[in-house]
Amino acid sequence: MVDLSQYLPILIFLAIALGLSSAFVFLPMGVSRLTGTHNPTADKLAEYECGFPAFEDSRSQFDVRFYLVAILFIIFDLEAAFLFPWAVSLKFTGWAGWITMMVFLFELIIGFAYAWKVGALEWE
């Protein structure tokens, strides 16, 4: 027979998490209806971007360059995230760690040079 009492703390945790998340979502909605602050108007329900109405349809396609710049940002952001722990642990990794990071940086520099050459970083 399987002893299911081991799972009791997990079930209690899940119940508390579900209760708190439900309270944080539904309690403000209920309080706003009870106090009379729930007053939707056309201006409140209108879509806006950066404080003013959108210029185009919300379902229009983005330019591919937007995604390319976003991917390049993520790549170079991760590079910066890898450099700090590497620098902190360099005395433990020694020359092998240094050479490995230089190969990694060289590959990223080659990719950056290629993206620059093909015009991926230019925005019209």
pLDDT digits 0-9 by tens, 24-67: 999 999 998 888 777 788 877 777 666 666 666 667 776 777 78
Q: Is the domain of 53 the same as that of 65?
A: no
CA angle 73, 120, 70 (to 5 degrees): 25
Please tell me the total count of domains within the chain.
2
Q: Which residues make Cβ contacts (< 8 Å) with residue 23, sequence separation at least 6?
A: none
Q: Is the domain of 66 the same as that of 43?
A: no
Q: Is the domain of 71 the same as that of 45?
A: no
Q: Where is pLDDT greater, at 118 or 13?
A: 13
Of 14-18, 36-40, 98-102, 110-114, highest mean pLDDT: 14-18
- Model pTM above 0.85: no
Percent of the chain with pLDDT over 90: 31
Q: Is the domain of 121 the same as that of 76?
A: yes
Q: Coil, strand, or helix at residue 66?
A: helix
* Rounded distance between C-alpha atoms, residue 74 and residue 8, angstroms: 41
Strand residues in the chain grouped as ranges (E): none
Q: Is the domain of 70 the same as that of 18?
A: no
Q: Which domain holds residue 31?
A: 1-57
* Rounded distance between C-alpha atoms, residue 102 and residue 99, angstroms: 5
Q: Among 9, 39, 57, which residue terminates a domain?
A: 57
Q: Is the domain of 124 the same as that of 66?
A: yes
